[in-house]
Amino acid sequence: MRKVVLALAVLILLFGPAAAQAQAGITFSRVTVKLWPEYDRPDMLVLYDFLLSPDSPLPAEVSVRIPAAAGGPYVVAVGASPATVSDQNVEYTVRAAGDWLEVIIRLPADGRAIRLEYYDPSLSRDGPTRRYRYEWPANEAVESLFVSFQLPVGATNLVLTPPLSSTRIGSDGLRYYEEEVGPLAAGETFTLSAVYQKQNSDLSISTLQVQPAGPLDRRASGSLSWNALLPWLLGFLGLLLIVGGLTGFFYRQGGSRRQPALRRRGLRQPKEAGAEQPVYCPQCGKRAQPGDRFCRACGTRLRRGED
């Protein structure tokens, strides 16, 4: 019996401090909290971006608490940086803890960034008045906590407690209230209360224009480029030139067939090369014969083009 007790004591001495050290050594260098009320659901969309400090031991397990009313996380993604997180093959478990749910996320050796999203249905409505209270239940220490609140479309008279001093208009056209809250110790909480007025139930996403997820590739399937359109444009221009040429040809042919009718009307025609034009007497009007220099009727001198 003593050998068993001794063996257990040895195991506790060997692995207990190491495990405690691993849990105590987790620190977030930066946490971003985004609160988007009535965005794509009537609830409050809460978005977390966690970045572990470089000296946090990995691999590790990180526990994040969310309200039990949320029913669980909507997105859990892990990656080497906030820009490269992915929800593929992410290992996590959820367990109840009173009014909270603990989301325990297993981080690989290169997983220092976490993205977590959930919908909180506790956004209350009393006619046009909306109320919400957010609480950050920090299990781990945070070196820098950044909070951002998105004003819904059609909302007015927003009151935030504590106030978020910085405001900006995002690329989506919505107004954001933001604040760098600062460092928080492990277990230290932060709360934010929001009250605003909204006369309708329109969601913000319904008024936003669809944007591409990234720069459009000119070689993407279904896209057109000038290199692809140029042969078609040249072919169309060539067809126009052919049609124009044929139209001009038939127009000229029709004009030449109308020339005899013009001659019958007594209109002068251009002088043909090598053909002698008829000559008429300027005194009596009688037509002279070829070679005549004087009129055979009245004797008046005839005027030819070469005279």
Q: What is the pTM of this model?
A: 0.63
Say if residues 65 and 140 touch (Cβ distance below 8 Å): no
Domains of the chain: 22-204 (2.60.40.1730)
How many angstroms separate the Cα of 305 from the Cα of each of 170, 190, 268, 279, 280? Answer: 89, 113, 15, 9, 12
Q: Using CA atoms, how far apart are residues 130 and 80, in angstroms rounded to an integer? A: 38
CA atoms within 13 A on the CB side of 25: 14
What is the token pair recorded at 10?
A: 């040895």
* CA-based end-to-end distance of the chain: 152
Three-state DSSP at 138 gives coil
pLDDT tens-digit profile, the chain (307 residues): 455 444 444 344 443 433 333 345 789 999 999 999 999 999 999 999 999 999 999 999 999 999 999 999 999 999 999 999 999 999 999 999 999 999 999 999 999 999 999 999 999 999 999 999 999 987 789 999 999 999 999 999 999 999 999 999 999 999 999 999 989 998 898 999 999 999 999 999 998 865 555 555 555 445 555 566 777 778 888 788 887 777 766 666 655 454 444 344 444 444 444 556 777 777 777 787 777 777 777 766 776 654 5
Distance in angstroms (rounded) separating the CA atoms of residues 56 and 62? 11
